[in-house]
Amino acid sequence: MNETPPNLEASAKSALTPIPTATILIAGASGAIGRQLIPLLSGYPVLGLTRSHPTLIEDLGARAAIVDVYDREPLMRILKAAKPEIVINLLTDLSNRDFDANNRIRRVGTKNLVEAAVACGVRRLVVASVAFDLPPAAADALAAMEETSLESGLDVEILRFGLLWGPGTWYCEPAAESGYIHVHDAAKAVRNAALATH
């Protein structure tokens, strides 16, 4: 029996599911920050993008769209249909501690997301970044993510967080040294950046 590759299956589902309009679109909505963020945006129309966890996003109170950010055309269709004013980039790929995958999503996934945001008239882009030292390849990917965002011409807010701890992270409690931030506090900072008036 032939199986549809996961990314193609997700794209097909996205093409068949009506996409709601949303003031705020969250890429990486099912990650640690996204799970904390969605309830904080109660009262706003929110659309969360995910490759595989739409029910989780909907249970938290947002609408969900299944898409792989490497699939540019489905991603563009979703943003055109949703017409968001604000896009929040929480993209990571660390569930299997695959740092090469995480570097790729920061480079390529961010590029695709930003291009779609610009093409669809998004006003503000909020990006979750990090404030701690990384190995050279990861640091280069992080710099590319930030540069792509800042050069977009959008109203960009980059939030550089320390190591996250709390639900959905690798750490149940902060280590003795400083530089850790609870994931809920990170989510509150993202919410404030997204909703700030300039």
53 within domain boundaries: yes
List the structure tokens of 46. 């929110």
132 within domain boundaries: yes
pTM of the model: 0.88
1, 57, 80, 81 from 18: Cα distances, Å: 29, 16, 12, 8
List the structure tokens of 185. 């506090």
Number of domains present in the structure of the chain: 1
Q: Is 119 exposed, middle or buried (0-12, 13-18, 19+ CB in 10 A)?
A: exposed
pLDDT tens digits, residue range 95-146? 778 899 999 999 999 999 999 999 999 999 999 999 999 999 999 999 999 9
> 43: domain CATH number?
3.40.50.720
Residue corresponding to tokens 């999503």: 105
List the structure tokens of 106. 């920061």
Rounded distance between C-alpha atoms, residue 101 and residue 151, angstroms = 23
pLDDT of 50:
95
Residue corresponding to tokens 């710099």: 143
User: Which structural domain, as residue segments, surrounds residue 27?
Assistant: 6-195
Q: For every one of its 198 residues, what pLDDT tens digit does the chain have, with 9 covering 90 and above?
A: 333 333 333 433 444 455 566 799 999 999 999 999 999 999 999 999 999 999 999 999 999 999 999 999 999 999 999 999 999 999 999 877 889 999 999 999 999 999 999 999 999 999 999 999 999 999 999 999 999 999 999 999 999 999 999 999 988 888 777 789 999 999 999 999 999 876
Q: What is the CA radius of gyration of the chain?
A: 16
Give yes or no for a contact between 195 and 179, defined as CB atoms under 8 angstroms apart.
Answer: no
φ, ψ at 51 (rounded to 5°): -85, -25
17 within domain boundaries: yes
- The mean predicted confidence, pLDDT, of the chain is 89
| Of 139, 178, 131, nearest in space to 159 by CA | 131
Residue 93 per-residue DSSP state: -
Rounded distance between C-alpha atoms, residue 23 and residue 41, angstroms = 10
List the structure tokens of 55. 């029910």
pLDDT of 22:
73
1 within domain boundaries: no
